Structure 1
Amino acid sequence: MTRTRTRARRPAAALPVRTALVLSTVVFLSACTSSAEIESEARTEAAAAEGTTTVLEVDTSPEQAGRVHTDEDPDAAALVPADIAEDGTLTIGVAGAGEPPLGFLADDNATVVGSEVDIASLVAEALGLELEVVNVAWEQWPLGVQSGDLEAVFSNVGVNTERLQLFDFATYREGVMAFSARPDSGLSIEEAADVAGLTIAVGSGTNQERILLDWNAQNEAAGLEPAQLEYFANSADTLLALQSGRIDTYIGPNPTAVYQQSVGDVEIVGTVNAGWPNTTYVAATTLKGNGLVDAVQAALQHVFEDGTYGETLDRWGLSDEAVDEPVVNPAVGS
């Protein structure tokens, strides 16, 4: 495991923003100096010429001057189990830090930053704790929580029946999947019939594969052509297949699609909840029965109410995934 300590405290002074991502929400960009910033500014000007009215600045420096901050909530802090509060640190795992915006390496190629780290930072601040971020492989986070090496995980973890047997959850986003296509595709995907006859890339053994298989069954029963599913080793191969026309669209986590759309690689042409036809949620994950989930839920409630939760989702273009309130161990549809 690679450990990155992040102080969950408001910095004394703002540092310069290094990179701007062009999304659908907007602020004017400051002067650019790097080639990446020049390209970003060009995309911003093009978006403005097309009638887009908002640009969201995103800081990729390890200092994260653009991070939203909150204050300590004494009532929430009082709920932290004594053995966890003892060292004054909340140790959280972020799995597979790679592609923005969920969790990725900052400009120093060592510090883990992203939307999941920002939510965890708010929770730590509300609990009066320092934040320690551990970059782990996806396969390692369950054992990390069970062994006590990780006190919580903030890593786009969806709540499901199997995980509820071992872990407690406090929700902070809906689990949303997005269909991405070439910007000129003309596709619009809202229901099963819209994928009939398309060639779609999808990850094997994922919720989104299960959705497409269910939709194919519906379409075949209705006399429609099923979608052809394709599987690629990584996102780079998938994007290349899309650009070359070998696939019509691919389905994956909405946050990643939001980022890819912001840099002009793709266009989001539809979304679906990961639990379709039910609603599933992304949640902070803690060891079952150790009591930490109640403190995390109270901290999330604090940042929901003071507006910093919404500001953080806006920062990363994820406001469409917002939930009304944090819930401990939500019901899972069959």
Structure 2
Amino acid sequence: MRKIALMLTMLVAMMGNAWASSNSLWEQSALNRIMKEGKLRVGLDSGYMPFEMTSKDGKYIGFDVDFAKQMAKAMGVELEIVNTAWDGIIPALMTDKFDIIMSGMTVTAERNLQVNFVDPYIVVGQTILLRKGLEGEIKSYKDLNDPKYKVISKLGTTGDYAIKKYMPKAELRLFETEADGALEVANGRADAFVYDLPYNAIYSAQNGDNLVHLDEPFTYEPLGWAIRKGDPDFANWLNNFLRQARGDGTYDKIYNRWFANSDWQDKLK
């Protein structure tokens, strides 16, 4: 009997410790703070078509923005968009400037050392915008691996990394925004712009007279929402939110709004 009583005492103690640990995690969770304060703070870098952009009237619009609105609605809280430069967006998350990054961020092993990603919500890849006149000379990214070619991307993006990995011999130039980088090629001051397929496809449609789009992705890039480490409650809620959105038609509705038509382009600055 004494042995059984001792085992029961130990079991109760273990359960108490587990409960205390779980309760402590919840108290520190971003989700707990969001619910208490009634506000979801979303970090993004406006300018990445069609994920996050700024309209003529100064509002943030796009695929990620619509999901952020749906997320806040599901939580029953207010949404606050925090526009943040790309090269500082992970440090800003880690220092609690916002609760989540929803900005077309590719899930990479390097970034995953700093933040946690929930399940990917879309998969894209790097493609190439070529200067007009090079279409017969350049057939794939391999042909750009030559010192005579000037290749552009946005600083700190997977386009930046892809050029360094797959075209190390090319002359690399990096810009603070994707728009400035693509414009450099459209104006004939560089040979190629390497960036995500959705952005390049839209930019090419708008500037087809000056560019050629090699639209076959040469990388595999799942995009995911990023949160601070050590927050299983928030990650669990986000994964279930995404699963529900895919199942009830919300995902398809938002996707079609931004990828299946171009009406939104008239709203841009």
Structure-2 separation of matches of 1:84 and 1:165: 24
Corresponding residue of 1:115: 63
Alignment of 1:118-267 (within 5 A): 118-170=66-118, 171-182=120-131, 186=135, 191-195=140-144, 199-203=149-153, 206-216=157-167, 228-231=170-173, 233=175, 235=178, 238-265=181-208, 266-267=211-212
SS of the counterpart of 2:70?
A: helix
Alignment CA distance shift 1:199-1:297 (3 Å): same
Task: Return the TM-score normalized by structure 1.
Answer: 0.57
> Unaligned regions of 5+ residues in structure 2, if any?
1-28, 262-269
Letter in 1 for 2:43: G
In the TM superposition, what whole-angstrom CA distance separates every residue of 1:150-200 from its partner, at most 9, and x where no partner exists? 111101222222332332212212242221135775459775545466724
Q: Would you say 1:268 and 2:226 are equivalent positions? A: no
Output the aligned Cα RMSD.
3.3
Task: Return the TM-score normalized by structure 2.
Answer: 0.69
Shift of residue 269, structure 1, vs aligned partner: 1.4
Corresponding residue of 1:282: 223
In the TM superposition, what whole-angstrom CA distance separates every residue of 1:263-296 from its partner, at most 9, and x where no partner exists? 23444213435xx4xx332111111122212111
In the TM superposition, what whole-angstrom CA distance separates every residue of 1:1-33 from its partner, at most 9, and x where no partner exists? xxxxxxxxxxxxxxxxxxxxxxxxxxxxxxxxx
The correspondence for 2:247, drawn from 295, 305, 326, is 305
In the TM superposition, what whole-angstrom CA distance separates every residue of 1:62-102 from its partner, at most 9, and x where no partner exists? xxxxxxxxxxxxxxxxx98433212332211112x235323
The percent identity for this pair of structures is: 21
> Unaligned regions of 5+ residues in structure 1, if any?
1-78, 218-225, 320-334
Letter in 2 for 1:296: L
Letter in 2 for 1:306: D
SS of the counterpart of 1:117?
A: helix
Contact 2:184–2:190 (CA under 8 A) maintained in structure 1: yes
SS of the counterpart of 2:79?
A: strand
Letter in 2 for 1:286: I
Contact 2:44–2:81 (CA under 8 A) maintained in structure 1: yes
The correspondence for 1:101, drawn from 50, 58, 64, is 50
How many residues align? The count is 226
Structure of higher CA gyration radius: 2
Structure-2 separation of matches of 1:297 and 1:241: 39
Per residue, is there more helix in 1 or in 2?
2
SS of the counterpart of 1:180?
A: strand
Structure-1 separation of matches of 2:152 and 2:187: 17
Letter in 1 for 2:106: G
Alignment CA distance shift 1:199-1:307 (3 Å): farther
Shift of residue 119, structure 1, vs aligned partner: 2.2
Structure-2 separation of matches of 1:131 and 1:202: 35
Shift of residue 144, structure 1, vs aligned partner: 2.9
Shift of residue 318, structure 1, vs aligned partner: 7.5
SS of the counterpart of 1:272?
A: coil
Structure-1 separation of matches of 2:213 and 2:122: 19
Corresponding residue of 1:91: 41
Contact 2:107–2:221 (CA under 8 A) maintained in structure 1: yes
Structure-2 separation of matches of 1:192 and 1:184: 16
